[in-house]
């Protein structure tokens, strides 16, 4: 039965080099540690990490600008302290309204 399939096989597939290349390609695509599926997953992760990197770089830039504004302008520093940390002057009262 196997002989019948072997006889019907085209001659270029009977070549030992072509067979070796086919087996090697099949092995590399599906069974190797760095197979096609894992490479696609890694590429997807890399894309996600690059997106995250852009987001965090943008956030760092905005934070540096805010820090620069706080350090260079006394009014901005006072406004930030009042809003963020609820600081007040000695003669003031602070009322915090919480929306429910």
pLDDT at 65: 92
* Locus of tokens 């309204």: 97
pLDDT at 42: 94
pLDDT at 87: 78
Rounded-to-integer distance, Cα 46 and Cα 91, Å? 55
pTM of the model as a whole: 0.55
43 pLDDT above the threshold of 90: yes
Look up residue 92 and give its DSSP letter.
-
Sign of the dihedral through C-alpha 72, 75, 78, 81: negative
- Which range (22-31, 50-59, 83-92) has the least confidence? 83-92
Rounded-to-integer distance, Cα 80 and Cα 72, Å? 13
- Confirm if 99 and 89 have CB atoms less than 8 A apart: no
Rounded-to-integer distance, Cα 12 and Cα 44, Å? 38
pLDDT at 54: 97
* Locus of tokens 């696609």: 40
pLDDT at 60: 98
Mean pLDDT value across the chain = 86
62 pLDDT above the threshold of 90: yes
Rounded-to-integer distance, Cα 46 and Cα 1, Å? 49
């Amino acid at each position: 039965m196997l002989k019948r399939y072997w006889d019907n096989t085209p001659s270029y597939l009977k070549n030992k080099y072509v067979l070796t290349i086919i087996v090697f390609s099949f092995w590399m695509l599906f069974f190797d540690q760095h197979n096609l599926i894992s490479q696609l997953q890694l590429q997807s992760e890399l894309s996600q990490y690059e997106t995250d990197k852009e987001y965090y770089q943008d956030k760092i830039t905005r934070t540096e600008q805010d820090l620069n504004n706080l350090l260079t302008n006394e009014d901005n520093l006072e406004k930030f302290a009042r809003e963020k940390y609820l600081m007040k002057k000695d003669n003031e009262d602070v009322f915090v309204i919480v929306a429910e």
